C-alpha cells in the first residue's frame, strides 16, 4: 500500500538513470516507510477488528459490523462517566497550563534577570522526578486539602507536571518572534501588555495550539495520579476505566477494544491536527541561535 502511494519526484532524466534513482528512492524511503507503517497499523487493526466484530465471530474482518460493544461500554461499563471526567480534567489542565505558561514563557524570552538560568535548570530537573515518587506525598497533600476522590486534584497535579515543558516550549517560541514587533507597538503608545496582546499573541497561535494540545494529551493519558487519587468508579478517568475494564472484563475483548477506541479517538484527532505545529515548534528553539 505504502509503496504504490509514493512516487519518485518526476524529473526529465535519461531512462537508465531514472530507473536507478527510482530504485534508490524505494530502497531509502518507500521500503522503510512501508515496513514501519505496517508496524504502526497492526495494533490499530486488532482494535478495530475486535471493536466492530460480532463477539461470536472469528473472522479476520469486522463484518458484519456491530456497534453493540460501544453501546455496552458507554451505557453499562461507565464510559459515559469516564469520558466526561477525562474531558473535564483535560480542559481544566489545558486552560490552567496556558494561563500560566504564557506569562512565564514571555518573562523567560524577553527579560534578562538574575536566576533565569537556575529557573530553567529547575524546570528541567522536574523531568527527572519519577511520577511514582510523587504519588505518596501528593496523596498526603490532597488528602489534607480534602481533594481525594475529587477531579480537581488531578487537574492540579497534571497542570503542575505539564508546566515545565510548556514553559520551555513557549519560551523558545516567543524568543523567535522579533522584539521589534512589540517595540513598534510600544512606540505607538501601547503599554507592554497591550503590545504583547496586539503584536505577539496573534502570531503565537501555533504555539498555543501545540502547548495546549500537549497538556491536554498529558492530562487525558495520566494514569498513575488518577489511580491513586480517585476512588469511586463514577469519577474514574478513561485510563483508570480502561485498566478496570481489563481486570473486570478481561475475557471480553470486544469491550476492551471499544473502550480503547473511545479513549484513543480524541487524542489521535488532536494529534493528527497538531503534529506539524509540534515539529515546527520544537525546531523553533534550534534555529534561533
Partner 1 sequence: MTRMIADDLGVAAPVAAAAVDQPPRPPRRRRTWRRSAAPWLLLSPVIILSAAFIVAPVLSVFWNAMFERKLTEPWNDAFIGLEHFRFMFFEDPKFWPSLGFTAQWVLVEVVLQLVFGLIIALVVNEAFRGRGFWRALVFSPWAISGVLTTAIWILVYNPGTGIFRLLAELGIGDGRQAVLVDPDSVFWAVVMAELWRGVPFFAIMLLAELQSAPKELYEAAAVDGAGRIKRFMHVTLPHLKTAIILTTLLRGVWEFNNVDLLLTMTNGGPAGMTTTLPLYVAQLATQAHDFGYGSALTVFAFLILLIVSIVYLKLTAFSREED
Interaction between residue 205 and partner 1 (CB under 8 A):
no
The CA distance from 94 to 220, in Å, is: 10
Distance in Å, CB of 30 to partner 1, minimum = 8
Give, as ranges, the residues between 83 and 112 that touch partner 1 (CB under 8 A): 100, 103-104, 106-108, 110-112
Distance in Å, CB of 20 to partner 1, minimum = 13
88 HSE (CA, 13 A, CB side): 14
Interaction between residue 234 and partner 1 (CB under 8 A):
no
Q: Which residues of 59-73 are buried (b: 16+ CB within 10 A; e: fewer)?
A: eeebeeebeebbebb
Interaction between residue 219 and partner 1 (CB under 8 A):
no
Interaction between residue 66 and partner 1 (CB under 8 A):
no
Distance in Å, CB of 15 to partner 1, minimum = 21
Nearer to partner 1, 120 or 149 (CB): 120
Interaction between residue 33 and partner 1 (CB under 8 A):
yes
- Number of continuous H segments (helices) and E segments (strands) in the chain: 14, 0
Interaction between residue 267 and partner 1 (CB under 8 A):
yes
Residue pair 234/78 in contact (Cβ under 8 Å)? The answer is yes
Distance in Å, CB of 213 to partner 1, minimum = 9
In 3D space, the residue among 135, 180, 187 whose CA is nearest the CA of residue 157 turns out to be 135
C-alpha cell at 236: 474514574
The CA distance from 180 to 182, in Å, is: 5
Interaction between residue 160 and partner 1 (CB under 8 A):
yes
Distance in Å, CB of 77 to partner 1, minimum = 13
Interaction between residue 141 and partner 1 (CB under 8 A):
yes
Interaction between residue 249 and partner 1 (CB under 8 A):
no
The number of residues making up the chain comes to 289
Residue pair 85/236 in contact (Cβ under 8 Å)? The answer is yes
Interaction between residue 129 and partner 1 (CB under 8 A):
yes
Amino acid at each position: 500500500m505504502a509503496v504504490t502511494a509514493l512516487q519518485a519526484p518526476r524529473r526529465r532524466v535519461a531512462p537508465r538513470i531514472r530507473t536507478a534513482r527510482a530504485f534508490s528512492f524505494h530502497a531509502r524511503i518507500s521500503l522503510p516507510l512501508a515496513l514501519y507503517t505496517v508496524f504502526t497499523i497492526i495494533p490499530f487493526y486488532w482494535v478495530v477488528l475486535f471493536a466492530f466484530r460480532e463477539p461470536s465471530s472469528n473472522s479476520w474482518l469486522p463484518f458484519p459490523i456491530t456497534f453493540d460493544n460501544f453501546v455496552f461500554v458507554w451505557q453499562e461499563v461507565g464510559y459515559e462517566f469516564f469520558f466526561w471526567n477525562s474531558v473535564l480534567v483535560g480542559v481544566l489542565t489545558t486552560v490552567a497550563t496556558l494561563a500560566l505558561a504564557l506569562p512565564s514563557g514571555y518573562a523567560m524570552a524577553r527579560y534578562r534577570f538574575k536566576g533565569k538560568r537556575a529557573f530553567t535548570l529547575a524546570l528541567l530537573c522536574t523531568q527527572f522526578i519519577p511520577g511514582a515518587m510523587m504519588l505518596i506525598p501528593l496523596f498526603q497533600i490532597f488528602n489534607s486539602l480534602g481533594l481525594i476522590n475529587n477531579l480537581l486534584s488531578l487537574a492540579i497535579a497534571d497542570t503542575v507536571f505539564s508546566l515545565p515543558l510548556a514553559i520551555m516550549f513557549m519560551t523558545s517560541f516567543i524568543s523567535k518572534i522579533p522584539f521589534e514587533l512589540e517595540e513598534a507597538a510600544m512606540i505607538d503608545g501601547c503599554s507592554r501588555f497591550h503590545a504583547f496582546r496586539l503584536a505577539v499573541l496573534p502570531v503565537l497561535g501555533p504555539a498555543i495550539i501545540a502547548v495546549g494540545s500537549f497538556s491536554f494529551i498529558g492530562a487525558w493519558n495520566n494514569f498513575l495520579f488518577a489511580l491513586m487519587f480517585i476512588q469511586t468508579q463514577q469519577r474514574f478517568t478513561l485510563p483508570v476505566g480502561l485498566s478496570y475494564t481489563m481486570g473486570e472484563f478481561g475475557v471480553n475483548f470486544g469491550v476492551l477494544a471499544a473502550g480503547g477506541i473511545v479513549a484513543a479517538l480524541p487524542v489521535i484527532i488532536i494529534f493528527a491536527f497538531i503534529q506539524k505545529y509540534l515539529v515546527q515548534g520544537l525546531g523553533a528553539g534550534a534555529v534561533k541561535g
